[in-house]
Structure 1
Amino acid sequence: MKPFYKFVIALLILCILIFAVHLYVARKDIGVGAKAPEKAEILFDGSREMLDEKWIYWEGPRFSSELPIKWEIISDPVDKGTVVSSKDPYALGGNYGTADIVTKRKYRDFRLHIEFLVQNKGGNSGVYLQNRYEIQVLDGDSTKHGMGAIINESKAPYEYYNGLGKWNAYDITFRAPRFTNGTLSEKSLVTVYFNDKKAHTNIRINQVWGGANSGLDGGNNGGKGITNTTGGIKLQAEGHNVLYRNIWIQELDLEQADTRF
């Protein structure tokens, strides 16, 4: 082989290695166990103190629990440390909206990391962006209503799910809806990684699903009446053993309609 071709091949190999290293470095804050960037806010570190400090019940139409929050802090079944269980007694039987918890702070555009573990078959919960838009947590369902779906908006990336008894991670960048003279002009936009895999890219969210008991604006015009108000990060209680840990958020200001990261 001539020296020139050897040089070209070596250069190509070097470029591939550099690209691979770049991907690794760029994505080290994604997936199970990802650490929060310096500028991020920790929303849950496994402690009862932080649960009570930063979270509260969402008092929607069907709310029936009472403070203090009944979600239990338990030992992590896989790793060291403690986690929180969404099995609030008031939500037994799938009564979402009766005992959901939401952050006290409200957010506009943001990057969110959250880890969850489903302990039992059919375990059901959900991660709500701005207390409106649900990223589904539902074992056994691979439809547009299932695990990892932007509920009823996109098909579930079920193949990325680690399965029962294992930790999973959502990494989400969300851009809030925009309004012009009080009228909705740009719908919400979201990109989601599920366990290191890009599951959804710049998906526009059309409405709030599940009615008034689901979240903010759920009862407005069949969920299509989105208002120009911010909301918190909400976790849904449906009476199932779904655990959460390592939750952090970084506020953003996304001028352009692009949530890719």
Structure 2
Amino acid sequence: MKRIALLAAGPALAATLAQAQVGVGTRMLTGAEMYLDGSRKMLDEKWVYWDGPRLKAKPPIKWTVVKDPVDEGTVINCNDPASAGGLYGSADIVTKKKFRDFRAHVEFLITKEGGNSGVYLQNRYEIQVLDGDTTSHGMAAVINESRSPYFAYNGIGKWNAYDILFRAARFENGKLVEQPMVTLYFNGKKVHTNQRISQVWGGPNSGIDGGNDGGKGITDTPGGLKLQSEGHDVYFRNIWIKEMELTKPDTDF
């Protein structure tokens, strides 16, 4: 167990101390909400296709429910027919609920060599899911902002976990004054601490604000947690999110 002190804003709220376990199989924090439990019901209730410029898929979501290859139960396969050939942005899904600051837990399993997906914070900033890549575009990198901590990857056919604390960009009078920031645990190992994010990468097909000033035109708009479909069999389960409000530019936990 790791203890984290999180500052919650608001006149009636004080700093709270929460216990948070990290890694595969982690249980939800008190006050968190489950967003993907491996069921068709939750997939349809809490997610939609991202309506980006390259959207090709039509509802209902064509991601499929499959048997968990490691444990009991079912999980969600992100391989959508509309994304065949690696057409990212054509069949990505995003939570209906939008967020600013949050703590999230995401578990994924890559079934084959080179398997590719991605986890997008606020539907803007990608935490990469890509087997075989150890660069700043590779596994568990805050894409193009940090190198891949590939050493923490459990490998093909095994479950992996991202534990994320994210603080959204801050604005004053419509101007960006504090960059977004994230701390990430990968399979229980802290791999990024207070990593600042300079822009949205990947262009308009990648996420919100990707087409604004080459991705540098970040806006003060909340966004959902997005999962990417790129024509690969990558499985997801046990995704939960807790809304936060971090008053200070510090996501370390």
| TM-score for both structures, normalised by structure 2 | 0.93
Higher helix share: 1
Gaps of 5+ in 2: 4-17
TM alignment of 1:110-259, pairs within 5 A? 110-259=102-251
Higher strand share: 2
SS in 1 for 2:82: helix
Name the counterpart of 2:12: none
Change (3 A) 1:22 1:156: closer
Task: Return the letter of the residue paired with 1:201.
Answer: T
Task: Tell me if structure 1 keeps the 8 A contact 2:132–2:139.
Answer: yes
Name the counterpart of 1:10: none
Task: Tell me if structure 1 keeps the 8 A contact 2:20–2:29.
Answer: no
2:100 equivalent to 1:108: yes
Alignment match of 2:54 (pick from 52, 58, 62):
62
Task: Return the letter of the residue paired with 2:174.
Answer: G
Task: Return the letter of the residue paired with 1:36.
Answer: M
Name the counterpart of 1:18: none
Task: Return the letter of the residue paired with 1:101.
Answer: I
Task: Return the letter of the residue paired with 1:205.
Answer: I
Tell me by how many angstroms 1:46 deviates.
Answer: 1.1
2 CA distance for matches of 1:216 and 1:173?
Answer: 20
Name the counterpart of 1:8: none
SS in 1 for 2:41: helix
Task: Return the letter of the residue paired with 2:192.
Answer: H
Task: Return the letter of the residue paired with 1:221.
Answer: D
Task: Tell me if structure 1 keeps the 8 A contact 2:55–2:91.
Answer: yes
RMSD: 1.2
Gaps of 5+ in 1: 1-20
Work out which of the two has the higher radius of gyration on C-alpha atoms and give 1 or 2: 1
- Structure 1 residue ranges, 4+ long, deviating more than 6 angstroms after superposition: none
Change (3 A) 1:60 1:22: closer
CA offsets per residue over residues 189-217 of structure 1, 9 Å max, x none? 00000000000000100000000000000
Name the counterpart of 2:11: none
| Corresponding pairs, count | 239
Name the counterpart of 1:30: 22
Identity of aligned residues (%): 64
Tell me by how many angstroms 1:27 deviates.
Answer: 6.9
1 CA distance for matches of 2:38 and 2:91?
Answer: 19
Name the counterpart of 2:6: none
Change (3 A) 1:62 1:28: same
Alignment match of 1:46 (pick from 27, 31, 38):
38
| TM-score for both structures, normalised by structure 1 | 0.90
Task: Return the letter of the residue paired with 1:72.
Answer: T
Name the counterpart of 1:17: none
Name the counterpart of 1:86: 78
Task: Return the letter of the residue paired with 1:137.
Answer: V
